[in-house]
Chain A
Amino acid sequence: MPEIEIRDVCLNYDTPSGRVAGVQDVSLDIERSEFLCLVGPSGCGKSTLLNIIAGFLPPSGGEIRIGGKKVDGHGMDRGVVFQDFAQLFPWRTALGNVAFGLEMKGVPKEEREAIALEQLRLVKLEKFVRSYPHHLSGGMQQRVAIARALAYNPAVLLMDEPFAALDALTRDDMQRLLADVWRETRKTVIYVTHNVSEAVYLADRVIVMTPHPGKVKSQVQIDLPRPRDPLSVEFLDYQKKLLIELGQMQN
């Protein structure tokens, strides 16, 4: 049985000029420990779909099951990382942010701090445990956000363009770090991006979405050994293939 089953999910917006389909008839199966990327231009509904999976938006039709259980609102089987650095709580230290989910679960203080410390070590921030978010760089804040989403051990990690607001060099570092984190934790990941090379670097499978209405156009399995070399011929071939799918390049 797949870890995540998405069946005929739709989401319609009511606008002054009538009803608009943000997401139309999306059906996907995602296996346990699979790294899935949703790629597409803005307006293709990839973030909307992620928000539906996260339980922030109720779908207009269809259903989503995670581990066989129907999604109804947000739940602790999913961890979410957003694009905006401001997602961290400024009134909590890095450790306090990461421990938040465990605190909500009622895990005792010592235990949750030990787990949070472990998570911060995973994202290489053990030196900044007591720092407040405003003292951390954008890349560090996003790493705290990843640690925070992993700390309460959800089955699924949902990421909405987490590195899009970072500079190119930091983004490369972050992608390598995330690939390491994924290899170590083996979470099921759904990762939204509009960056094709990022998708090829990270994903087992890439879903290409197109806008108006937002729906799945095609999918591409990335059969490359890890760690991947972004300058290899095979890597560039995959990138080219995706760009053609997206209509950004002629065959």
Chain B
Amino acid sequence: MTLTAERLRTWRRAATSIVGLLIFYELVARSGYFPAVLLPPLGKVALTLWTTVTDGTMLHHAAATLYRVLAGMTLAVIVAVPLGVLMARYKSVENFCLPLASALMPIPSLAWVPVFILWFGLGNTVAILIVFYAATFPILLNTWSGVRAVNPLWLRAAGAMGANGQSLFWKVMIPAASPFIITGIRQAFLRAWIAVIGAEFLAASDWGLGWVIFDAKEFLNADLMLASLAVIGVIGFLFERLFFGSIEKATVMRWGMVRAAKS
């Protein structure tokens, strides 16, 4: 089969599942069992989405949320990737960090929101820190596992060719552990979305998709809530498929370190 035909089929399959879900929703919404104000038909949701996108408010909210996610994610990557490598390389760092991670990890990130509001007040800082908190552990643990799983032969070969310190880190450890690191960042991204919406429920003022949803509840604006959820879904989908998908294709799949599923 040609590459484009394969690609078309992949997209068709992805579209089928989403369209199926939408039809199911529409059937339930129109069945009349539930009040229309709570379960608005898709047409109404689409209209709300359209007006809020065209007048720019939805985009502004989405941008505010995305900014918080990306800022928190960036901090998490900067901290967790080097720390994960150090944990895998040095027993002392592992002994110090692993109990800390084990104790902090089970605490849901949202449980920190009230505490952080007390410490930092309402606004971006809280949301970014919550995202950072939620995203750090998957990246940390995956990087740690990834470096421990690095083929020792690569380290020997690199050592024999004079790699050490910085060059060993950037040119061997990071690419060698990249299938794990990418998986970690993917998982972290998922957690980051959960965290940012939750943080915005409580800590955001005026901007952010979480804030829109929480605020719309006060006015029984189910259509606006669903429209915001759709925006979250679309952004998540685009990141997952386009961003992470292309990173994977350009790196670990190109290098043959992971392979695509067969048929």
Residues of A within 8 A of B (CB): 54-56, 74-76, 78-80, 82, 84, 86-91, 100-101, 103-105, 132-135, 148-149, 152
Contacts and interface: CB of A to CB of B under 8 A. Distances in A.
Given A87-B154, A89-B154, A104-B167, A78 B160 contact: yes
B198 to A, nearest CB: 37
Contact of B178 (A82, A87, A91, A134): A91
Interface in B158-183: 158-163, 167, 171-172, 175-176, 178
Contact of B162 (A76, A88, A90, A91): A76
B226 to A, nearest CB: 43
Contact of A152 (B157, B158, B161, B178): B161
Interface of B: prevailing SS: helix
Interface in B97-154: 151, 153-154
Contacts of B160: 54-56, 74, 78-80, 149
Contacts of A55: 160
Contacts of A78: 160
23 contacts: A55-B160, A56-B159, A78-B160, A80-B156, A80-B157, A80-B160, A86-B151, A86-B154, A87-B154, A88-B157, A90-B256, A90-B257, A91-B178, A91-B251, A100-B161, A100-B171, A132-B255, A133-B256, A134-B256, A135-B256, A148-B157, A152-B161, A152-B162
Interface of B: 151, 153-154, 156-163, 167, 171-172, 175-176, 178, 251, 254-257
A87 B153 contact: yes
Given A78-B160, A91-B255, A104-B167, 4 more contacts: A100-B171, A104-B162, A133-B256, A148-B157
A75 B171 CA distance: 18
Contacts of B257: 90-91
Given A132-B254, A134-B255, A134-B256, A89 B175 contact: yes
A105 B159 CA distance: 12
A132 B151 CA distance: 17
A131 B251 CA distance: 14
Nearest to A73: B159
A32 B162 CA distance: 23
Given A91-B257, A104-B163, A84 B153 contact: yes
A135 B160 CA distance: 25
B161 A101 contact: yes
Contacts of A56: 156, 159-160
A239 B251 CA distance: 48
Contacts of A133: 256
Interface centre among B154, B161, B175 (most CB of A within 10 A): B161
B162 A132 contact: no
Nearest to B153: A87
Contacts of A75: 162
Contact of A82 (B157, B162, B256): B157
A105 B251 contact: no
A56 B163 CA distance: 14
